[in-house]
């Protein structure tokens, strides 16, 4: 181990075997640190040499032995291990098990419970009770005991609040001298020993059909909620804070600034392969175009014959400079050009509909030099060259791919070592050359091409098939894209762009206004605030504090009230809450805080959390978007986005005027228009042109756009066409806004 990176190298090697050879460990299925938990129903774990899969299925499917994703993954993994000569341990090679110990966790799929191994918890409870009864031990022994309990508490983090003074006694020096445990430490050890049987996670807890938002002020607290479908809560819960981080009470200045809406940053301490089948017969072009428009097919791949486009053909009929052919009147050239243009037209329809496509040609083909294929580059297409030797082949056969698939970007250059011996493709295989070819393939020709070469077989025809690891990689990326998760083309990848688009990308890259810095880790994504501003919350409760206290402690008391309410109304459920206090979120997720005052409040919450079977997930929202802020200060619930009463009233009137204009001028209802942000932006653009031509003041357009963004926060990024009218209006009439003359001025 040491600093030789043995663990890292072993795990990464295992990962690459599963990813490239087996087509497993997809991003949408793999459980990884600092990443949202996968949606399921299949979850894949990888830890050094352990490869684990968990499949959620019904009892009837389990009894019938239904073939699901887990079976496919582990069949491909077994084949990959054999291909690279890795030996599976027969004891660890288990399938279709309902119970087992996985990565130190006792998993019971029948009861739906995961925890530390129960036999070890029992032994730990007996040892802890005996030490607490004796009342003395060494700090080193206490550290070991607490370390064992930490593993158990990770399955029910809220119980961390029980241990507070025990950590202080474990840090005493010297660590080998026997000390007398304080009464608080002995009580904590006895409490944690009694809680041992309930420190487990219920995997079948339901999803609470509500989204809660809470806040506390120096004088009171309030809780608001809104209805939400359980699938929505389940998806948002994946992004909540579950691990927690180090927290302490905010300083007086920080608390005062946050009360005024000035947020401060927080430092977080330490804190598949799918089968690739070809159609049995050619589909008519009209049917393909119809299917691409209806999104019946989401991923197109065309392996077009090279025809006369091949540069190795003799006599040559085309070249890179003249890809359309030397003799325009040649019937063969005209027929091949017609087929190529039809393919390009089909791919243009596919790209316009936002679907994925790819088309491959031999490395010497000049088909992609035609003007119809160059236009595909303007639609975001990319040209890459795939080298078979990069995927285990014994020859450097290359093929050219035109595609719009981000997961194929990396297959762009040969990474072979210069000293690697490769086979020249010519003639047919003999018995000796077939054996030599098989020995040079990595790991074997059977693993790379799906079949071994035979004596007398044409070598060029044998290697014309694409390597299986490359196809599995493409299939795995397509599977991820079908689930809504996938990579995007990096802006720096412009090798396949047309000259015009490459120049536009270069201009954008040099524009300082377009160079956005990545979001800091402590900052929140904008969609959380948009979510909080767009939901229609209703007030559940509000109350006044009997005595003042630190704002973080008061917010923790509000969370305790929230747990009381959920234990009574939504027991055995996973709840989603929005808070504007990072301290409270971190302490609640971690289970404890370095502040004794916060830990004391969390200890009072533990009974409702464990007894009610509650699993909370919190998202941080800024104070300006926290709808519970008003009720916590004894004000009415205000669902407007931080506007004054006068501004909100003007926005409402201008929004109603825009609705009236839509009803009178457009042949579509306003509700239907709001379903598409692009259509709504164009309608606002037309409304602005109408106001300008009719002589109305500019503020009517500004308030209408602002009110639209307030009503539909997710549409803000699509309002550029409407704001362009406002900017052009200001250029035409600089310094003028056509204000409405007030009555006193008119009378004067």
Q: What is the pLDDT of residue 229?
A: 94
Greater confidence (67 vs 735) lies with: 67
Please, which residues have CB within 8 angstroms of residue 286's CB and are 6 or more apart in sequence? none
Over 80: is that where the pLDDT of 579 sits?
yes
Range with lowest mean pLDDT among 120-124, 316-320, 340-344, 492-496:
492-496
Give the separation between CA 536 and CA 227, rounded to whole angstroms.
9
CA distance linking residue 473 with residue 386, whole number of Å: 12
Residue 117 predicted with pLDDT over 50: yes
Q: How does strand 220-227 pair with strand 206-216?
A: antiparallel
With a pLDDT cut of 70, the percent of the chain lying above it is 85
pLDDT value, residue 573: 95
Which candidate, 74, 77, 78, places its Cα nearest to that of 97?
A: 74
Give the pLDDT band of residue 328 (cuts 50, 70, 90).
confident
pLDDT in tens, 441-485: 888 888 888 888 888 888 888 888 888 888 888 888 888 887 766
Average pLDDT, the chain: 83
Look at residue 199 and give its three-state secondary structure: coil
In the prediction, which pLDDT does 277 show? 40
Average the pLDDT over each of 271-275, 312-316, 723-727 and give the range with the smallest value. 271-275
Looking at residue 177, its pLDDT comes to 92
Domains detected in the chain:
6-96 (no CATH), 118-201 (no CATH), 206-268+523-632 (3.30.420.10), 285-508 (no CATH), 645-747 (no CATH)
Q: What share of the chain has pLDDT > 90, as a percent?
A: 34
Confidence of residue 243 (pLDDT cuts 50, 70, 90): confident
pLDDT tens sequence across 32-41: 988 889 988 9
Q: Please report the pLDDT score of residue 604 as a whole number.
A: 93
Q: What is the pLDDT of residue 276?
A: 39
pLDDT tens-digit map of 137-196: 999 999 999 999 999 999 999 999 999 999 999 988 888 899 999 999 999 999 999 999
Lowest mean pLDDT among 147-156, 208-217, 441-450, 505-514: 505-514
Give me the mean pLDDT over the 569-595 stretch: 92
Q: What is the pLDDT of residue 556?
A: 93
Q: CA 36, CA 127: separation in Å to the nearest integer?
A: 37
Q: Residue 51: pLDDT band by 50, 70, 90 thresholds?
A: very high
pLDDT value of position 426: 83
Look at residue 517 in the predicted model and tell me its pLDDT. 67
CA end-to-end span of the chain: 89
What CA–CA distance (Å, rounded) separates 718 from 676? 10
Q: Is the pLDDT of residue 502 over 80?
A: no
Per-residue pLDDT at 644 = 65
Do the Cβ atoms of 315 and 362 come closer than 8 Å? no
The phi and psi torsions of 746 (rounded to 5 degrees) equal -65, -40
d(CA 389, CA 448) in angstroms, rounded, equals 10
pLDDT attached to residue 554: 93
pLDDT at 614: 95
Going by pLDDT thresholds of 50, 70 and 90, the confidence category of residue 253 is: low
Give me the helix-helix angle, 331-352 and 371-378, nearest 10°: 10
Q: Are 153 and 121 in contact (CB under 8 A)?
A: no
Least confident residue range of 197-211, 466-480, 578-592: 466-480
Q: How far is CA 485 from the centre of its chain?
A: 6
Mean pLDDT over residues 390-409, rounded?
83
The three-state secondary structure class of 49 is coil
The reported pLDDT for the residue numbered 505 is 55
Residue 53 scores a pLDDT above 90: yes
Segments in 104-211 forming alpha helices (H): 118-134, 139-153, 165-170, 183-194
Q: What is the pLDDT of residues 562-578, one digit of tens each?
A: 999 999 999 999 999 99
List pLDDT tens digits, range 615-658: 999 999 988 888 898 899 988 887 665 566 677 788 889 999 99
User: According to the model, what pLDDT value does residue 114 have?
Assistant: 95
* Cis before 41? omega within 30: yes
Per-residue model confidence as pLDDT tens digits over 98-114: 898 988 899 999 899 99
Give the integer Cα–Cα distance in Å for 195 and 535.
Answer: 39
Residue 570: predicted pLDDT: 94
Q: What is the pLDDT of residue 266?
A: 39
Q: Alpha-carbon Rg of the chain, whole angstroms?
A: 33
Residues 6+ apart with CB under 8 A from 58: none
Whether the link from the prior residue into 443 is cis, omega within 30° of 0, is yes
**Six-digit token string for 497:** 């762009």
Determine the pLDDT at residue 269. Answer: 31
């Amino acid at each position: 181990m040491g600093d030789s990176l043995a663990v890292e190298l072993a795990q990464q090697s295992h990962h690459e075997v599963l990813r490239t050879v087996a087509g497993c460990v997809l991003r949408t299925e793999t459980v990884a640190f600092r990443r949202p938990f996968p949606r399921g129903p299949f979850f894949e774990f990888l830890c050094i040499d352990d490869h684990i899969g968990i499949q959620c299925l019904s009892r009837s499917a389990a009894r019938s032995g239904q073939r699901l994703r887990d079976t496919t993954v582990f069949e491909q993994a077994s084949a990959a291990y054999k291909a690279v000569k890795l030996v599976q341990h027969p004891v660890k090679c288990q399938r279709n098990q309902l119970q087992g110990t996985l990565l130190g966790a006792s998993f019971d799929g029948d009861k739906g419970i995961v925890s530390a191994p129960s036999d070890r918890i029992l032994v730990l409870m007996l040892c802890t009770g005996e030490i607490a009864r004796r009342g003395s031990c060494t700090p080193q022994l206490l550290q070991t005991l607490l370390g064992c309990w930490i593993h158990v508490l990770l399955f029910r983090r809220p119980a961390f609040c029980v241990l507070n003074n025990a950590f202080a006694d474990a840090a005493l020096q010297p660590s080998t001298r026997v000390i007398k445990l304080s009464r608080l430490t002995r009580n904590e050890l006895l409490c944690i020993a009694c809680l041992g049987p309930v420190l487990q996670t219920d995997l079948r807890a339901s999803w609470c059909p509500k989204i809660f938002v809470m806040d506390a002020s120096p004088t009171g607290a309030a809780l608001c909620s809104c209805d939400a479908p359980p699938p929505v809560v389940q998806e948002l819960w994946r992004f909540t804070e579950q691990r927690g981080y180090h927290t302490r009470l905010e300083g007086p200045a920080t608390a005062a600034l946050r009360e005024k809406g000035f947020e401060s940053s927080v430092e977080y301490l330490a804190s598949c392969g799918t089968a690739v089948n070809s159609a049995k017969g050619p589909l008519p072009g009209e049917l393909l175009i119809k299917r691409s428009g209806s999104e019946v097919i989401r991923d197109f791949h065309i392996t077009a014959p090279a025809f006369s486009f091949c540069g190795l053909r003799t006599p040559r009929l085309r070249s890179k400079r003249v890809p359309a052919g030397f003799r325009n009147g040649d019937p063969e050239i005209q027929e091949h050009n017609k087929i190529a243009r039809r393919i390009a037209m089909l791919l243009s329809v596919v790209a316009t509909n936002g679907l994925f496509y790819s088309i491959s040609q031999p490395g010497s083909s000049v088909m992609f030099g035609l003007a119809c294929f160059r236009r595909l580059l303007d639609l975001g297409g990319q040209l890459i060259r795939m080298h078979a030797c990069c995927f285990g082949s014994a020859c450097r056969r290359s093929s050219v791919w035109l595609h719009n698939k981000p997961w194929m970007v990396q297959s762009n250059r040969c990474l072979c070592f210069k000293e690697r011996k490769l086979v020249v493709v010519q003639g047919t295989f003999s018995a000796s050359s077939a054996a030599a070819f098989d020995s040079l393939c990595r790991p074997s020709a059977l693993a790379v091409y799906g079949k071994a070469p035979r004596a007398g077989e044409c070598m060029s025809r044998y290697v014309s098939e694409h390597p299986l690891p490359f196809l599995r990689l493409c299939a795995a990326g397509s599977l991820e894209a079908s689930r809504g998760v996938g990579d995007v083309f990096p802006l720096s990848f412009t090798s396949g762009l047309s000259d015009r688009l490459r120049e536009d990308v270069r201009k954008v890259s040099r524009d300082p206004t377009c160079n956005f810095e990545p979001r800091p880790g402590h900052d929140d994504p904008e969609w959380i605030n948009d979510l909080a501003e767009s939901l229609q919350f209703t007030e559940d409760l509000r109350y006044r504090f009997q005595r003042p206290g630190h704002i973080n402690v008061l917010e923790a008391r509000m969370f305790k009230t929230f747990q009381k309410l959920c234990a009574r109304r939504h027991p055995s459920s996973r709840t989603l809450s929005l808070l504007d206090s990072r301290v409270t979120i971190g302490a609640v997720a971690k289970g404890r805080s370095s502040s004794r005052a916060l830990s004391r409040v969390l200890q009072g919450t533990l009974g409702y959390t464990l007894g009610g079977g509650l699993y909370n997930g919190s998202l941080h929202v800024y104070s300006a978007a926290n709808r519970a802020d008003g009720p916590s200060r004894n004000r009415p619930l205000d669902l407007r986005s931080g506007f004054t009463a006068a501004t909100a009233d003007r926005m409402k009137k201008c929004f109603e005027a825009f609705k009236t204009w839509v009803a009178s001028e457009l042949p579509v209802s306003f509700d239907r228009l709001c379903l598409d942000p692009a259509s709504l932006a164009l309608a606002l653009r037309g409304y602005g042109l109408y106001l300008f031509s009719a002589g109305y003041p500019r503020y009517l357009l500004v308030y209408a756009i602002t009110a639209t963004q307030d009503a539909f926060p997710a549409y803000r990024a699509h309002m550029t066409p409407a704001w362009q009218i406002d900017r052009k209006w200001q250029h035409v009439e600089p310094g003028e806004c056509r204000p409405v003359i007030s009555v006193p001025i008119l009378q004067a």
